[in-house]
Structure 1
Amino acid sequence: SGFLRNISYRKSKNVYQGGQGKELVVFPGSVLFNKSGQWIMAAELVETSRLFARVAANIKPEWLEPLAGPLCRSSYSNPRWEKKSGKVIANQKVTLFGLVIVASRPTNYARINDKTRVEARQIFIESALVQGELPGSYRFLEHNLGLVESFEKIEDRMRQRGVLVDDYTLYKLYDNRLDPYVHDRASLNRFLKQRDNEKNLFMDEKDIILQTPESGRLSDFPEELPINDFTVKVSYSFNPGSDEDGVTVKIPLDLLDHVSPEFFEWLVPGLLAEKISFLLKGLPKNIRKQLIPIQQTAAEITSGLSLYQGSLYRALEKMIFKQFRVRIARSQWPADKLPDHLRVYFLVLDSHGKKLMASRNFADLSIPRPPKKKPAALDQIKKKWERQDITTWDFSGLPEKIPLHAGKNYLQGYAYPALKVDEKGHIAIKLYTDLAESCKVNQQGQLALYSLQLPRQFKLLKKECNLPSGSWALYEGFDSRKQLSSDLYQFILLEIFQCRDGSWPDQESFFKLVAEAQKSGLFNIAKKYLDMILDVLQERRATLDHISKLEKMSGKKPNAGTNFNDFRKQLQAILPKDFLLHFTAEHMKAAIRYCKALVIRLDRAYASPAKDKAKNSQLTVHLDKLKTLAPQDPSPQCRELVEEYRLMLEEYKISLFAPEIKTQFPISAKRLEKKWQAILDSC
């Protein structure tokens, strides 16, 4: 210990750094030469050409601090809260004659001196209390953190800071209520043992909020959104740049097929005006300048909208055209440029609430799914609702769909009741988890139930629907006369009893139809449909005969340019083999007009193929557009628009090739273009 000033640590082989900036070398004659350790102490230092350490020995640096005592100098850095120990610690560095003998040692920061105790108290309050990093259970802290968190969530929902006080204010609240000696968990525990001290640490709303949010404004940021018969959870984040910034909607996987992306275009009421304003500002300049001032226009439009009714964009287009006479195409909306907080963040969850997938694009949520398991709740629901031996309508309390819950808050889907008829004609109420299957089964089940009320009438009608074998020419091109008769019988029943879509009529409607059939006679009601079908079949036969006649005549005509097989295909498109299974009475009436128009076109094409070809080129432009539609399953709105477009094409054919036949509604190439634009905007 008498040679403390002669300590040194190795810089390189045999070269050492001594105290007070001296550099020394192990004497070549020393036993430590080329064998010295990291730290050495020399009995003497001899300076010749260099400063040599003679009579040296290896030492350990941890021996030095107890021996040097007050000769050591300490410095402290990085004071911080340590949750595990429940106190504020810092890194202590110890030097002896300028040499570092302890590089970094954790030490209790509050015990160093009065100044560090004050700093430790500040860090303790900021980290342990304000940030909630204090280990253990403390009622006042749980209460205060919960209160702060509730208002932080309100700020996130409203995307507005300034409701809650800042961290410094929270720090001062604790600083004023805690005794000066409280600087760690142990001192806090001593403080809390004194009477009423913990009670004084409980905060209330007036302590931590700057302004109280209006209840009406807060309701514009709901924590649940009702969709059909269920609700989805909604959470909020005010953290621009993060994945979940804005509105997050949590959708159970089993409900993904039951929600429409159009619903979420509306976002939440509190953000709708901002979204509409952004959309208006992103419109082309020639449109945008007609809507100035944008903020005022957005507010007026928002107040006039019926929320969550169809597509937001379609509603905006209608509202803007109504108020400003300005047309906006779907492709002109800057939907792809919306900031994240104005687009829903979809979070798909499994039955345990675990995240499966997340995206701001609903179309991305196509998760490969395992074979659908029967919902656990289905067996219990079946016991309540399924019945055997149904003979009349005595189930008026039966709902159209029954929710299937797995647990208190998790909806797995729905069960759809249907009347099922077996091979023996027995009818039962069965539940299905697939709506399409339920409707298909229920269609035939309802007809079977009607037949139980009108057995003789059904039998007579079926007999009358057996088409006579002598009229074989009417059936040419169909699978068989027997199949056509069966389809005819089915068509008439579905028209009379209005159950083509498989939906449920109410009890009153059911018995009203039965009473009407009993009073008027089922066959008498059906006769108009039977005559209609025969008219259609006869018109079809006449059209086929006319095609064959002109085809035969064309063999004697030089340079005949008419493609008669193409006309047969057009007739097949008008009346396919299974038309009775898909057509309604309105379709039948239209089919007769289409056949007559086809005959007129055929005559004119036969007389002037070039003119027909020229007119057909006008039609082909619109027909070819249908081929460009994506093969994916379209939305109901898209399917409806496409069917309207197909119907318009049939009427357009009449206006082009047989204008003497009146169209069902005004039609033109311009109207077709407009309808096609609507399809592009929606599909």
Structure 2
Amino acid sequence: RFKDERSDFISLLKLWDDFEAQKAHLTRAKIRSYCRDSFLSFVRMREWHETHSQIMEVIKGEFEFKLNMVPAEYPEIHRALLAGLLSNVCLRQEQSEYVGARGARLHIHPGSFLFKVKPKWIISAEQVETSKVYARTVAAIEPEWIERVGAHLVKQQHYDPHWERKAARIAVHERTQLFGLTIQAGRKIPYERVNAVEARELFIRHALVQMDYDSRAPFMAHNIKLLEEADYLQQKGRRVDLMVDELWLFKFFEERVPPEIVNGVTFEVWRKSVEALKPDFLKLTQDDITVKVDESVDDLNFPDHCMVGGLRLPLQYRFEPGHVDDGVSALIPLQLLNTLEESPFRWLVPGMLRDKVIALLKSLPKTLRIHFVPVPDYADRILPMLDFAQGDLLAQLSSALKRTGGISVPTASFREELVPDHLKTNYLVLAEDQRVIDRGRDLSALKQKHSKDAGQSFKQIASEAYLMTGCHEWTFGDVPVTFDGSHEGSRVFGYPALVDEGQSVGLRILEAREEAQLVHEGGLARLLALSLAKDLKYIRKNLRVDAAAELACGRLGAHPLFYKDLGKERALRDDVVARLLAATYLEDQVEIRDFASFSERMEAHRKELMVRSDEMGAIAQKIMQLHAEVLRSLDKAPDGKIKEDVLFQLSRMIYLGFWIKTPWAQIREFPRYLTAIQHRLQKAGQDPGRDARQRVDLEPFQSAFWTMMEKYQGRRVPERHPFRWKLEEFRVSLFAQQLKTAYPISVKRMEEALKTLEPSG
């Protein structure tokens, strides 16, 4: 009944209280019986009582202490015991083992009520050694009591002073120990309690120099803005010597902030009193932070935006070698990704062009590079010859090297993979909420990865911002060449075009300029067809093509790479009439963008339709006839490689819907190209080896062009590219010289044309 599972001392106190209560109303004989029944020694209990009485007499008499009127609680009792038993404090280490003062190992005595409880911290009345060292008369205590009672014996260690932004102070970890026992292992306390001088220095460094401090003080916003602008200027110029360092800033504030300021609370009180008299006392100035001025690091050489095809894109700069965004980054909204080409970005910005040119010259093979040493000097000679951001950088560089050194350097000789990353534009692809969803220095790879998402995003935003459909006459107003606007916060840049909807015309914004030009032409042709319906009905009916030609045209295969939008069923007469309208009203003429121009053009060329229709019908008939003959001749081709190459040529020239995509100026040459194939097949039977050698001359140019077109992912129209028809003329010069070419063509001329072939992007 006296048991207390927290403290053997409390168990003894309960025993004392019960004995005193019994003694107050029992006779001496009954007290003896009480002790016997309670397994207590009457003699020892009497001695205890007498000792207590003697102590109380001394306390009341000599010391004149008064007794507590309120019974002491558990903490008070054990803190009092702790004052005399500090060396008997123990900490549990393992299941039942404790560590005491100075590393002593001991256990709770089995006779203790706490033997099974095993508190973490205990105090004992004594420690005895038998087979083991035992702590007897034990009580559970709190470690905080040890620090309070034994403050004069507790040792303190402080480590890791650090800045706490939220608390606006320097904090430090504190470890406290008593006789080798760790009481607190990592408590955080304000550092000014330990070292006020260092706390002040660290506060100034973190809060005022590094500005890692939440304050609404005007000086803070002013200084942050000033230093960020100066640092960004350094980032642009890839410099570290234009502005003061942290040591200077520390001295600036250290001279102004008084010694008693050690944290955010004391600082704010002082700041408000000072700024009431001197509002600019803590504000930095441009002169304060400027070490030197470099006039070349300006907005002209390092602009914050770049213009790409009429689109104004933000630029960001970072000077941190090894970082993924080191260099200059262009911020590109996802919906605009497909509208961009890589060529303009190769120029970087004017302030970085010299380093880019030096890197490109160093990337040349040694056999070429030795002609341009020292490289920096040659770069300085070349730079004035370059027309910044006009055309392809590598083509201009090749031309400039030819003029300065007389050495021909093909653009393919520049190994861009050897150019450091910071000298290549970094592309940051942004979602609608301006999050960076991807980044990289290969625009083609980013476009390929996000082409579908970018296209869908563009179409959705563009259709909501700029859309008309189902029109049968010109009701669009003026149609601009480009559209640069926004819809619900999203940027839209594209190329408006009239769209052929079959029996009507619509208005859309498209991503690519060439695609828009071609689609706009088709839309205009459909609008013309609706306006000239009676004339075209007669022309279509009387077009000079027979049933065999129409049937053969319907059996043509689709283009192997592009134009899935052309469908699987087309009528030769409809396609020829569409090209007739385009050739008469649109090709090689100023693009129609308003109603007045449309009406004027329609009436001005109306009489030409009939004349052109006769010629076009005859050409259509001839093309299908020659195409059929070539296919029959292929069965007799002496070499499978020859047949493969001819089929490659035909599939990209005469496919289902080629009348829609190919300008009339090129279609009218098709009979000559087909006749050239016939001559080739005839001669190949006599000398297959010669044909193979000629294919070797053709292959590099053909491969380069179609590889480029595939990388454009349909954003370029091969039939509108001059190099596409140079390939056909080159074929004529190789395989059928007797037919003559439309203009001089040779391997050398093809090589020159290849140098200026617009890079993919």
- TM-score, L = length of structure 1: 0.78
Residue 230 of structure 2 corresponds to residue 146 of structure 1: no
How far apart are 1:380 and its partner, in Å? 6.7
CA distance in 2, matches of 1:377, 1:229: 17
Tell me the residue number matched to 1:414. Answer: 494
RMSD over aligned CA atoms reads 4.9
For structure 1, which segment, 578-587 or 99-108, has the greater mean C-alpha deviation from structure 2 after superposition? 578-587
3-state SS in 1 of match to 2:357: helix
CA distance in 2, matches of 1:258, 1:23: 78
CA distance in 1, matches of 2:217, 2:326: 32
Q: Map of 1:430-441 to 2, 5 A cutoff?
A: 430-433=507-510, 439=517
CA distance in 2, matches of 1:463, 1:14: 105
Higher RCO (C-alpha under 8 Å, 6+ residues apart): 2
Residue 666 of structure 2 corresponds to residue 587 of structure 1: yes
Tell me the residue number matched to 2:402. Answer: 321
Tell me the residue number matched to 1:557. Answer: none
Tell me the residue number matched to 1:634. Answer: 712
Q: Would the alpha carbon gap of residues 463 and 263 (structure 1) be closer, same or farther in structure 2, given more than 3 Å must change? A: closer
Tell me the residue number matched to 1:522. Answer: 608
Residue 225 of structure 2 corresponds to residue 137 of structure 1: no
Deviations 1:614-673 (A, max 9, x none): 433234435666479558343799876996666455445544554444333444456567
Q: Would the alpha carbon gap of residues 16 and 647 (structure 1) be closer, same or farther in structure 2, given more than 3 Å must change? A: closer
Q: Would the alpha carbon gap of residues 127 and 257 (structure 1) be closer, same or farther in structure 2, given more than 3 Å must change? A: same
Q: 1:405 aligns with which of 486, 496, 500?
A: 486
Deviations 1:224-273 (A, max 9, x none): 11222321111111122222121121100111111111221111221121
How far apart are 1:119 and its partner, in Å? 0.9
How far apart are 1:190 and its partner, in Å? 2.2
Contact 1:622 1:672 in 2 (8 A): no
Which amino acid counterpart does residue 251 of structure 1 have in structure 2? I
Q: 2:443 aligns with which of 359, 362, 367?
A: 362
Identity of paired residues, percent?
A: 24
Q: Map of 1:540-619 to 2, 5 A cutoff?
A: 581=660, 584=663, 586-587=665-666, 590-594=669-673, 597=676, 605=683, 610-619=685-694
CA distance in 2, matches of 1:103, 1:334: 59
Tell me the residue number matched to 1:63. Answer: 145
CA distance in 2, matches of 1:222, 1:530: 57
Tell me the residue number matched to 2:24. Answer: none
Tell me the residue number matched to 1:212. Answer: 293
CA distance in 2, matches of 1:486, 1:29: 108
Deviations 1:497-538 (A, max 9, x none): 2348994268897687567658xx536xx6477457647856
How far apart are 1:120 and its partner, in Å? 0.9
Contact 1:461 1:489 in 2 (8 A): no
Q: Would the alpha carbon gap of residues 32 and 660 (structure 1) be closer, same or farther in structure 2, given more than 3 Å must change? A: same
Which amino acid counterpart does residue 380 of structure 2 have in structure 1? A
CA distance in 2, matches of 1:46, 1:164: 72
Which amino acid counterpart does residue 172 of structure 1 have in structure 2? K
How far apart are 1:682 and its partner, in Å? 5.8
Which amino acid counterpart does residue 281 of structure 2 have in structure 1? N
Tell me the residue number matched to 1:127. Answer: 206
Tell me the residue number matched to 1:341. Answer: 422
CA distance in 2, matches of 1:579, 1:51: 102
Deviations 1:165-202 (A, max 9, x none): 11121111111112221111221122123232553112
For structure 1, which segment, 210-219 or 368-377, has the greater mean C-alpha deviation from structure 2 after superposition? 368-377
Q: What are structure 1's unaligned runs of at least 5 residues?
A: 555-559
Which amino acid counterpart does residue 404 of structure 1 have in structure 2? G
CA distance in 2, matches of 1:5, 1:539: 112
Q: Map of 1:18-167 to 2, 5 A cutoff?
A: 18-19=100-101, 21=102, 23=104, 25=106, 31=112, 37-44=119-126, 58-112=140-194, 116-167=195-246
Residue 348 of structure 2 corresponds to residue 267 of structure 1: yes
CA distance in 2, matches of 1:105, 1:305: 65
Contact 1:439 1:502 in 2 (8 A): no
Contact 2:219 2:282 in 1 (8 A): yes
Which amino acid counterpart does residue 253 of structure 2 have in structure 1? Y
CA distance in 2, matches of 1:7, 1:570: 94
Q: Map of 1:635-674 to 2, 5 A cutoff?
A: 647-648=725-726, 650-656=728-734, 658-668=736-746
CA distance in 1, matches of 2:406, 2:206: 60
Which amino acid counterpart does residue 544 of structure 2 have in structure 1? L
Q: What are structure 2's unaligned runs of at least 5 residues?
A: 1-82, 556-569
Q: Map of 1:185-204 to 2, 5 A cutoff?
A: 185-194=264-273, 195-196=276-277, 198-204=279-285
Deviations 1:366-396 (A, max 9, x none): 224284576567667569x9987549xx96x
CA distance in 1, matches of 2:236, 2:112: 76
- TM-score, L = length of structure 2: 0.71
Tell me the residue number matched to 2:566. Answer: none
Q: Would the alpha carbon gap of residues 636 and 220 (structure 1) be closer, same or farther in structure 2, given more than 3 Å must change? A: farther
Residue 592 of structure 2 corresponds to residue 504 of structure 1: yes
CA distance in 2, matches of 1:76, 1:516: 95
CA distance in 2, matches of 1:247, 1:542: 55
3-state SS in 2 of match to 1:71: coil
Corresponding residue pairs, total: 650
3-state SS in 1 of match to 2:347: coil
For structure 1, which segment, 593-602 or 300-309, has the greater mean C-alpha deviation from structure 2 after superposition? 593-602
How far apart are 1:289 and its partner, in Å? 0.8
3-state SS in 2 of match to 1:106: strand
CA distance in 2, matches of 1:49, 1:568: 104
CA distance in 1, matches of 2:238, 2:169: 36
CA distance in 1, matches of 2:267, 2:524: 76
Which amino acid counterpart does residue 299 of structure 1 have in structure 2? D
For structure 1, which segment, 119-128 or 623-632, has the greater mean C-alpha deviation from structure 2 after superposition? 623-632
CA distance in 1, matches of 2:212, 2:428: 29
Contact 2:235 2:317 in 1 (8 A): yes
CA distance in 1, matches of 2:526, 2:720: 34
3-state SS in 1 of match to 2:316: strand
How far apart are 1:213 and its partner, in Å? 4.0
CA distance in 2, matches of 1:484, 1:3: 111
Q: Would the alpha carbon gap of residues 510 and 56 (structure 1) be closer, same or farther in structure 2, given more than 3 Å must change? A: closer
